[in-house]
C-alpha cells in the first residue's frame, strides 16, 4: 500500500443518506484509488428511513460527475451490526453523532467520530445541502469531504 495505511472499514452516516454521506463515500473511494490503497470497505447509511432504496440526490450526482468521481449507492439505514463490522463510523454533524450513539448497542468496536474533525481547515460540520435550490452547497460538501478524506488517510500514516 502506497501510504502504509492498513485497509479499514469505514461507514459514513447522515440523516437521509442521499446527500452528504454518499458524497463522502464516493470521495473517499476516489482518494483511496488515487493513492493506490486497496482492500478498503467504504459504505454510507442514514439515520432515518425516508430514502431507503433510492439513489443519491441528483445534485450530488451532478457534482460528482463534474469531478469525474463515480457515485453508485442506494440509501440504507444504519444497523446494529454496523457497530461491530466497521472500524470507523463517521457522522456529518453533531446531531448525527448523537443519533448514532443513541442507536449503538451496549458494546461495539467501531470508532464513532465527526468526519469534519479531519478537516485541515477545521470546518467540523459537513454542510447539509439538501434544502438548497442549486448545486453550490453540494460543491461545498464535496470540497469538505475531499479535505476530510485526505486528512483522515494522512492521520493513519
* b (16+ CB within 10 A) / e for 63-102: bbeeeebebebebbbbeeebbebbebbbbbbeebbebbee
Catalytic (active site) residue 14:
yes
Catalytic (active site) residue 147:
no
Catalytic (active site) residue 128:
yes
Rounded CA-CA distance 90/111 in Å is 8
Q: Which of 99, 119, 128, 135 is catalytic?
A: 128
Q: Which of 19, 20, 57, 99 is catalytic?
A: 20
Q: Which of 14, 19, 141, 148 is catalytic?
A: 14
Catalytic residues: 14, 20, 128
Amino acid at each position: 500500500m502506497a501510504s502504509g495505511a492498513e485497509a479499514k472499514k469505514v461507514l459514513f452516516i447522515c440523516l437521509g443518506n442521499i446527500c452528504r454521506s454518499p458524497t463522502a463515500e464516493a470521495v473517499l473511494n476516489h482518494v483511496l484509488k488515487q493513492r493506490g490503497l486497496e482492500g478498503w470497505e467504504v459504505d454510507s447509511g442514514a439515520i432515518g428511513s425516508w430514502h431507503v432504496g433510492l439513489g443519491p440526490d441528483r445534485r450530488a450526482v451532478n457534482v460528482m460527475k463534474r469531478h469525474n468521481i463515480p457515485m453508485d449507492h442506494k440509501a440504507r439505514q444504519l444497523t446494529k451490526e454496523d457497530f461491530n463490522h466497521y472500524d470507523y463510523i463517521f457522522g456529518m454533524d453533531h446531531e448525527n453523532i448523537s443519533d448514532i450513539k443513541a442507536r449503538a448497542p451496549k458494546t461495539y468496536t467501531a470508532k464513532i467520530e465527526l468526519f469534519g474533525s479531519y478537516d485541515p481547515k477545521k470546518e467540523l460540520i459537513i454542510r447539509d445541502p439538501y434544502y438548497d435550490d442549486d448545486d453550490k452547497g453540494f460543491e461545498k460538501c464535496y470540497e469538505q469531504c475531499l479535505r476530510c478524506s485526505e486528512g483522515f488517510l494522512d492521520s493513519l500514516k
